[in-house]
Amino acid sequence: MTDWGARAECLLSQVAACSEPGPGVTRLPFTPEHRAAIDLLQTQMEEIGLTVTLDHAGTLIGRSEGPPGSRTLLMGSHQDSVREGGAYDGIMGVVLPLLALDKLRAEGIELPFSVEVLAFADEEGVRFPTALVGSRALAGTFDDAVLSMTDTQGVTLREAMACFGLNPEQIRTLSRNPEDLLGFVETHIEQGPVLEREERPLGVVSAICGIERHQIEITGETGHAGTLPMSGRRDALVAAAAIVAEVDRMGQSTPNLRATVGALTVEPNVVNAVPRRVTLTAEFRSPDDATRSAAGDALHHFMQNLAADRKTAINAEKTYAQMAQPCDATLSAQLAGRGTDKGACGLLLPSGATHDASAMADLCPIAMLFVRCRDGVSHTPEEFAAKDDMGAAIDALASFLTALARKDSENS
């Protein structure tokens, strides 16, 4: 009897080694680490009997061909991680459906539809100030303008993709026809504490929060920390500190809003000089789009007043936004009922994290399966999912696929 959870654990630890040196996993898109990971996944896909392709957005696609004319169920998640992240975020959603397909193959079960397991290149938006590159390409919502965005080394997304052997000008040809699709099902570690608190290994997502990100640059005036009088200083970091405090105040005082300043740089960043320039990010998330966009507008208004008070120049740009996305009720109900004795996945919960599924919702019905996350921590080296929970997820996915097959044959 195969221990599918153990197989998942083994494969995920192999992919986790495809990382920059340092704590946790750092696997950014279009890098040697990304290449090592998709080489490993390609081998696994081919061993399972899938046809493997790499599309021009860097998405690795493992396809199991159904009967001629049948539609396709899309599964998968992202291969990239945050810096010093965990070994499960994203990549678990590639490995578990692969093993669910392998389980069905081992049981001699053939599906009356095609299945594609997708490993999207860039969901996190850590290397470039954009995100959901591969899923937006399939959904036909990719904006070519992001190809000119640069990473901290000044490399554009276009250059990084070309160096990776891709032709980014072909991305616009990748959009799929919704008529060909049964839907998109994403499996993901919960990244929160709910399933652990409810003592459930699995859960089904009701909706994915909306998200927006602002890039802010504050320009003041530097000077000698010892000789420049306090009055009249144009200290960029003092202005930034007011923004950080205001973002936190908004998050603390607004229901259904998460507000975070996650990244900040200071120049010249030396102990005895007044900071001249600060860049920082502000991120707002909410299941309610009006709450989220009102927060973004309020922050821009706050910064206009602050710039005058502090005699600093403040340039702010909303660099990223995506709407909150409800999951498809029918597909989610089919997923919810597919638990096994290891734990039904009937618990419905919202996702505070965003996912490729939120982009895929523009293309086809989406559903998400959450797997319990130890202590609810994610985006850290301590991120962990238990092998038995992953085994339960593989069982649930295999059971979902066979139930979908039965429903598909009833309808045909």
Q: Contact positions toward Mn ion, by CB under 5 A?
A: 89-90
Least separation in angstroms between residue 362's CB and ligand HGY is 17
CA 298, 310, 236 angle in degrees (round to 5)? 95
Least separation in angstroms between residue 42's CB and ligand HGY is 24
Q: Contacts with ligand HGY: how many residues (CB under 6 A)?
A: 4
Least separation in angstroms between residue 88's CB and Mn ion is 9
Handedness of CA 41, 42, 47, 52 (dihedral sign): positive
Q: Please say which residue, 123 or 235, places its beta carbon nearer to ligand HGY.
A: 123
Q: Please say which residue, 113 or 320, places its beta carbon nearer to ligand HGY.
A: 320
Q: Please say which residue, 96 or 359, places its beta carbon nearer to ligand HGY.
A: 359
Residue of minimal CB distance from ligand HGY? Answer: 353
Judged by CB under 6 A, does residue 9 bind ligand HGY?
no
> Which residue is it, tokens 């990748």?
174
* DSSP annotation string for 14-51: HHHTSS-SSSSB---TTSHHHHHHHHHHHHHHHHTT-E
Judged by CB under 6 A, does residue 399 bind ligand HGY?
no
- Long-range CB contact pairs, 128-133, < 8 A, 24+: 128/29, 128/157, 128/160, 129/213, 129/215, 129/319, 129/320, 130/157, 130/319, 130/320, 131/320, 131/354, 132/322, 132/354, 132/356, 132/358, 132/359, 133/29, 133/57, 133/58, 133/157
Rounded distance between C-alpha atoms, residue 243 and residue 313, angstroms? 13
Judged by CB under 6 A, does residue 354 bind ligand HGY?
yes
Least separation in angstroms between residue 16's CB and ligand HGY is 16
Judged by CB under 6 A, does residue 190 bind ligand HGY?
no
Q: Please say which residue, 89 or 190, places its beta carbon nearer to Mn ion.
A: 89
Rounded distance between C-alpha atoms, residue 29 and residue 120, angstroms? 9
Judged by CB under 6 A, does residue 368 bind ligand HGY?
no
Among residues 124, 212, 246, 362, which is the contact residue for ligand HGY, using CB under 6 A?
124
Q: Please say which residue, 55 or 283, places its beta carbon nearer to ligand HGY.
A: 283
Residue 178 has which token pair? 């919704």
* Runs of H (alpha helix) within 185-327: 194-197, 236-253, 289-310
Residue 358: which of ligand HGY, Mn ion, none does it interact with, CB under 5 to 8 A by kind? Answer: none
Q: Please say which residue, 164 or 370, places its beta carbon nearer to Mn ion.
A: 370
Q: Please say which residue, 114 or 191, places its beta carbon nearer to ligand HGY.
A: 191
Judged by CB under 6 A, does residue 353 bind ligand HGY?
yes
Bridge partners (DSSP) listed for residue 317 = 215
Query: What is the H or E stretch that residue 389 is in?
Result: helix 387-411
CA 32, 86, 201 angle in degrees (round to 5)? 135
Q: Please say which residue, 104 or 132, places its beta carbon nearer to ligand HGY.
A: 132
Residue 354: which of ligand HGY, Mn ion, none does it interact with, CB under 5 to 8 A by kind? Answer: ligand HGY
Q: Which residues contact 383 (CB under 8 A, 6 or more apart)?
A: 24, 85, 86, 87, 88, 89, 189, 191, 373, 374, 377
Among residues 55, 123, 328, 383, which is the contact residue for ligand HGY, using CB under 6 A?
123
Residues engaged in binding ligand HGY (CB under 6 A): 123-124, 353-354
